[in-house]
Amino acid sequence: MKCNCKTNCIKTKQNILENIDKLYKACPQCHTKTLKKAIPLKRQIKLEKIDKNYKKCKQCGKRHIDIVMAHTLKILIENNQMPETSSIRKTGTPLITPATYLEHLPYLSKETLVLITTNCDKTTAKKIKTEVPEIKAIIKGNTQTTAGKLDENTKTNNYDLLTGCDIRCDIQNTDKGPIILYKQQSKQHIEYPKQESPKIEQLRKILEKYENPTVLDAMSGPGTLGIYALQKNAAHVTFNDINPESIESLKTNLEINQIPKEKYQIYNENILELTKKLEKQYNLGIIDTFPGIDTKKYTEALEKICDEVIII
């Protein structure tokens, strides 16, 4: 996976986990007052007061995510990208990086937020990236509608990276420890880490029926389920995804999570074509596709080479 940051944003698993506990916490000197999400920003703050130092903690240098979104919204309003009556809720979808399940709203340091918005041109995006230090990248796209609108060739979401580096890291906790997942967010599906992942819980129950199963992760994405299977009890996993960007993320994630190369193989194929090439009989086949996709033809294809097929 290529990173266009001046310094490589892809860190080791040890480095990420060592710092995550304190990364988003407020220090005793932090400003803790939050904003009303649905009330117009200009009714809560005089916009001219907001700059990169507004409500920035003098001790730890962090700002509450509400203030970061307010700063971003101010620039959008000033550049006629959003109405003056806008609230921070309308600014866009904020995705922290590295992302983990949090019981509180985060306090952000430099380049820890990727913003997805429908209301921004490239010129304004570059201005935001320059003036709002917490912003790592800005992506144009609508998370409410784009998730169901897939490119017919790659079967992936149609987002446009406006500025910055949109490589994000998610930390998904499991019964076998955390999995580190990097992805280029403008080219891959958003799947934010949960305290307990329903997909991993479903897979855990299936895997426990086997001793050391062989697994075909037929729509692997960045590798979450297949990596978990290897950490759990799988003897070998074959990963496959039609999206080449997902394959690049997968390769990074296998390395970051220290999965031995002899434990897996990787394909970048349409699943229907892949099953024609594979003669091996797998214990378990996994189908993890987008909501609303008819999985019948994929299930039938996998049933020819897998003892059991599960739809996650």
* CA pseudo-torsion sign 111, 113, 114, 115: negative
Q: 126 and 43, same structural domain?
A: yes
The per-residue pLDDT of the chain, averaged, comes to 93
Is 8 among the domain residues?
no
Is 85 among the domain residues?
yes
Q: 222 and 156, same structural domain?
A: no
Task: For 161-220, write each residue's pLDDT tens digit.
Answer: 999 999 999 999 999 999 999 999 999 988 889 999 999 999 999 999 999 999 999 999
Whether the Cβ atoms of residue 112 and residue 134 lie closer than 8 Å to each other: yes
Q: 160 and 31, same structural domain?
A: yes
Main-chain phi, psi angles of 113, to 5 degrees: -135, 125
> Residue 105's domain spans which residues?
13-165
Q: 294 and 221, same structural domain?
A: yes
Confidence category of residue 20, pLDDT binned at 50, 70, 90: very high
Residue where a domain terminates, one of 165, 186, 205 = 165
Cα–Cα distance measured from residue 198 to residue 50, given in angstroms and rounded to the nearest whole number? 40
Cβ contacts of residue 92 below 8 Å, gap of 6+?
A: 72, 115, 116, 117, 118, 119, 120
Query: What's the average model confidence in pLDDT over 84-92?
Result: 97
User: What's 186's DSSP letter?
Assistant: G
Residue where a domain terminates, one of 165, 187, 213 = 165
Surface-to-core class of residue 253, CB atoms within 10 Å of its CB (0-12 exposed, 13-18 middle, 19+ buried): buried
Q: 122 and 59, same structural domain?
A: yes
Q: Which amino acid is at 11?
A: K
Q: 149 and 17, same structural domain?
A: yes
Is 116 among the domain residues?
yes
Is 174 among the domain residues?
no
Is 184 among the domain residues?
no
Confidence at residue 189, expressed as pLDDT on a 0 to 100 scale: 86
Is 81 among the domain residues?
yes
Residue where a domain terminates, one of 113, 148, 165 = 165
How much is the pTM? 0.91
Task: For 54-63, write each residue's pLDDT tens digit.
Answer: 999 999 999 9
Q: 220 and 97, same structural domain?
A: no
Q: 215 and 143, same structural domain?
A: no
Q: 115 and 38, same structural domain?
A: yes
Main-chain phi, psi angles of 299, to 5 degrees: -60, -45
Q: 22 and 125, same structural domain?
A: yes
Confidence category of residue 296, pLDDT binned at 50, 70, 90: very high
Q: 201 and 129, same structural domain?
A: no
Is 147 among the domain residues?
yes
The count of structural domains within the chain is 2
Is 256 among the domain residues?
yes
The CATH number of the domain holding residue 272 is 3.40.50.150
Q: 87 and 215, same structural domain?
A: no
